[in-house]
Amino acid sequence: MIHLSNGEEVDCRGSCYWPMACPIRSVKHITPQGFGEFYKPAEERLNQLQSELPRLEAEVSRLKVDKVSSEEVIHEAKTLYEQWPKLDNDWKRSIVEAVFQRIEIHDGKIKITYSGIPTSVELCKNQQQMAPARC
């Protein structure tokens, strides 16, 4: 409801699709109370959205980083797979020791305990060391 200065109350919600047909178009003054009541819900929602925006932007950024990180891990795994036959035994051993904390074999069963996930810095160093030299 909008309270007009002439004392009338007008409900504009849903009826002002055509600006020329708006019932308050011919009125020159809207009271501050009427203006506040009409726009307060929209203002409150705008404030809510603006307060949520930084959190949502941070979430989008985190998801982008996660996507890039997972793509990097997949790329690294493919590179390792392709380079594995070319690596000497010392390199293979160091990679296995970095990936696995423990490997146990008992009665024909294998129990594997993985090490912590390497950091992106470690992944980059490994890739640079495995990459063929460029001239």
Q: What is the pLDDT of residues 9-37, one digit of tens each?
A: 766 665 555 455 565 555 556 677 777 78
Assess if residue 53 is contained within a domain.
yes
Is pLDDT larger for residue 61 or for residue 35? 61
Q: Quick one: pLDDT at residue 88? A: 92
Assess if residue 23 is contained within a domain.
no
Is pLDDT larger for residue 66 or for residue 105? 105
- Exposed e or buried b for every residue in 29-61, given b needs 16+ CB within 10 A? ebeeebeeebeeeeeeeeeeeeeeeeeeeeeee
Long-range contacts of 110-118 (CB under 8 A, 24+ apart): none
- The answer to whether the beta carbons of residues 129 and 95 sit under 8 Å apart is no
Q: How far apart are CA 92 and CA 123, in angstroms?
A: 15
Is pLDDT larger for residue 120 or for residue 133? 120
Range of the domain at 91: 31-130
Amino acid identity for residue 46 in this structure: L
Assess if residue 50 is contained within a domain.
yes
Q: Quick one: pLDDT at residue 135? A: 45
Give the pLDDT confidence of 106-120 residue by residue, as tens digits: 998 998 888 776 566
Q: Quick one: pLDDT at residue 90? A: 92
Assess if residue 109 is contained within a domain.
yes
Q: Quick one: pLDDT at residue 85? A: 93
Assess if residue 4 is contained within a domain.
no
Q: Quick one: pLDDT at residue 76? A: 87
Assess if residue 14 is contained within a domain.
no
pLDDT at 123 over 60: yes
- The answer to whether the beta carbons of residues 3 and 34 sit under 8 Å apart is yes
Assess if residue 25 is contained within a domain.
no
Q: Who's near 99: CB < 8 A, 6+ residues apart? A: 114, 115
Assess if residue 37 is contained within a domain.
yes
Structural domains of the chain, count:
1
Is pLDDT larger for residue 104 or for residue 125? 104
